[in-house]
Amino acid sequence: KAGVTQTPRYLIKTRGQQVTLSCSPISGHRSVSWYQQTPGQGLQFLFEYFSETQRNKGNFPGRFSGRQFSNSRSEMNVSTLELGDSALYLCASSLMPGGIVGNTEAFFGQGTRLTVV
Protein backbone atom coordinates (compact mmCIF):
# COMPACT_ATOMS: atom_id res chain seq x y z
CA LYS A 1 0.00 0.00 0.00
CA ALA A 2 1.10 3.59 -0.53
CA GLY A 3 3.14 5.19 2.19
CA VAL A 4 2.88 8.63 3.73
CA THR A 5 2.92 11.27 1.04
CA GLN A 6 4.13 14.77 1.69
CA THR A 7 3.91 17.62 -0.77
CA PRO A 8 5.75 19.55 -1.91
CA ARG A 9 9.14 17.93 -1.41
CA TYR A 10 11.02 21.21 -1.60
CA LEU A 11 10.06 24.82 -1.00
CA ILE A 12 11.92 28.08 -1.01
CA LYS A 13 10.19 31.01 0.63
CA THR A 14 11.10 34.52 1.63
CA ARG A 15 11.07 35.82 5.18
CA GLY A 16 7.66 37.10 6.16
CA GLN A 17 5.77 34.85 3.77
CA GLN A 18 3.57 31.99 4.83
CA VAL A 19 3.65 28.39 3.72
CA THR A 20 1.30 25.40 3.74
CA LEU A 21 2.58 21.84 3.73
CA SER A 22 0.44 18.82 3.04
CA CYS A 23 0.47 15.26 4.32
CA SER A 24 -1.59 12.31 3.13
CA PRO A 25 -1.39 9.45 5.64
CA ILE A 26 -1.42 5.78 4.85
CA SER A 27 -4.89 4.65 3.88
CA GLY A 28 -6.86 3.78 7.01
CA HIS A 29 -4.56 5.67 9.36
CA ARG A 30 -6.35 8.32 11.37
CA SER A 31 -3.59 9.86 13.43
CA VAL A 32 -1.14 12.34 11.92
CA SER A 33 1.80 13.93 13.70
CA TRP A 34 4.21 16.57 12.48
CA TYR A 35 7.88 16.99 13.33
CA GLN A 36 10.53 19.54 12.54
CA GLN A 37 14.06 18.28 11.86
CA THR A 38 17.02 20.65 11.98
CA PRO A 39 20.75 20.01 12.40
CA GLY A 40 20.82 22.00 15.62
CA GLN A 41 17.63 20.87 17.37
CA GLY A 42 17.17 17.42 15.88
CA LEU A 43 13.66 16.02 15.59
CA GLN A 44 11.06 17.98 17.50
CA PHE A 45 7.36 17.30 17.81
CA LEU A 46 5.06 19.97 16.41
CA PHE A 47 1.53 18.62 16.83
CA GLU A 48 -0.71 15.60 16.54
CA TYR A 49 -4.14 15.31 14.99
CA PHE A 50 -6.74 12.62 15.31
CA SER A 51 -10.30 12.77 14.01
CA GLU A 52 -9.79 16.37 12.92
CA THR A 53 -8.83 17.42 16.44
CA GLN A 54 -5.46 18.59 17.66
CA ARG A 55 -4.62 16.33 20.58
CA ASN A 56 -1.22 17.61 21.48
CA LYS A 57 1.07 20.49 20.58
CA GLY A 58 4.79 20.88 20.94
CA ASN A 59 6.68 23.90 22.13
CA PHE A 60 6.45 26.01 18.99
CA PRO A 61 5.13 29.56 18.54
CA GLY A 62 1.61 30.24 17.38
CA ARG A 63 2.90 30.91 13.86
CA PHE A 64 2.86 27.14 13.47
CA SER A 65 -0.60 25.72 13.02
CA GLY A 66 -2.24 22.75 11.46
CA ARG A 67 -5.45 21.02 10.72
CA GLN A 68 -6.79 17.65 9.73
CA PHE A 69 -9.57 16.95 7.29
CA SER A 70 -12.29 14.33 7.44
CA ASN A 71 -10.29 12.06 5.11
CA SER A 72 -7.38 12.23 7.63
CA ARG A 73 -5.19 14.32 5.32
CA SER A 74 -3.41 17.02 7.23
CA GLU A 75 -1.89 20.39 6.52
CA MET A 76 0.45 22.51 8.51
CA ASN A 77 0.87 26.22 8.07
CA VAL A 78 3.69 28.50 9.08
CA SER A 79 2.99 32.21 8.94
CA THR A 80 5.44 35.09 8.95
CA LEU A 81 8.36 32.85 8.08
CA GLU A 82 11.71 33.38 9.76
CA LEU A 83 15.13 32.18 8.67
CA GLY A 84 15.14 29.76 11.59
CA ASP A 85 12.11 27.97 10.20
CA SER A 86 14.30 26.43 7.53
CA ALA A 87 14.06 22.72 8.22
CA LEU A 88 12.85 19.35 7.07
CA TYR A 89 9.22 18.97 8.11
CA LEU A 90 8.17 15.38 8.62
CA CYS A 91 4.73 13.91 8.82
CA ALA A 92 4.02 10.60 10.50
CA SER A 93 0.85 8.58 10.35
CA SER A 94 -0.43 5.95 12.72
CA LEU A 95 -3.46 3.72 12.74
CA MET A 96 -4.63 5.19 16.01
CA PRO A 97 -3.17 7.52 18.60
CA GLY A 98 -0.89 5.85 21.06
CA GLY A 99 -3.06 6.66 24.02
CA ILE A 100 -6.19 5.06 22.65
CA VAL A 101 -5.04 1.76 21.29
CA GLY A 102 -1.54 1.82 22.59
CA ASN A 103 1.50 0.37 20.96
CA THR A 104 0.95 2.01 17.59
CA GLU A 105 3.76 2.45 15.14
CA ALA A 106 4.40 5.71 13.30
CA PHE A 107 5.25 5.67 9.61
CA PHE A 108 7.11 8.68 8.29
CA GLY A 109 6.93 10.47 4.98
CA GLN A 110 9.98 11.74 3.12
CA GLY A 111 9.39 15.23 4.35
CA THR A 112 9.19 18.71 2.92
CA ARG A 113 12.44 20.62 2.93
CA LEU A 114 11.65 24.26 3.55
CA THR A 115 14.29 26.90 2.94
CA VAL A 116 13.60 30.44 4.06
CA VAL A 117 15.75 33.12 2.45
Partner 1 sequence: AQSVSQHNHHVILSEAASLELGCNYSYGGTVNLFWYVQYPGQHLQLLLKYFSGDPLVKGIKGFEAEFIKSKFSFNLRKPSVQWSDTAEYFCAVLDGGYNKLIFGAGTRLAVHP
- Secondary structure class of 24 (helix, strand, coil): strand
In the bound state with partner 1, the residue whose beta carbon lies nearer, of 74 and 81, is 74
Shortest gap between Cβ of 6 and partner 1 (angstroms)? 9
Would you count residue 97 as binding partner 1 (CB under 8 A)?
yes
Angstrom distance (rounded) from CA 97 to CA 33: 9
8 binds partner 1 (CB under 8 A): no
Strands (E), the chain: 5-7, 10-13, 19-24, 31-38, 42-50, 53-57, 64-68, 74-78, 87-94, 107-108, 112-116
Check residue 60 for interaction with partner 1 (CB under 8 A).
Answer: no
For the sheet containing 5-7, what is the strand order? Answer: 5-7, 19-24, 74-78, 64-68
Q: Is 65 in the site for partner 1 (CB under 8 A)?
A: no
Reduced to 3 states (helix: H, G, I; strand: E, B; else coil), residue 4 is: coil
In the set 58, 60, 67, 86, which binds partner 1 (CB under 8 A)?
58
The reply to whether 107 sits near partner 1 by the rule CB under 8 A is: yes
33 binds partner 1 (CB under 8 A): yes
Which residues sit at the interface with partner 1, rule CB under 8 A? 3-4, 31, 33, 35, 42-45, 48, 50, 55-56, 58, 90, 92, 94, 97-99, 102-111
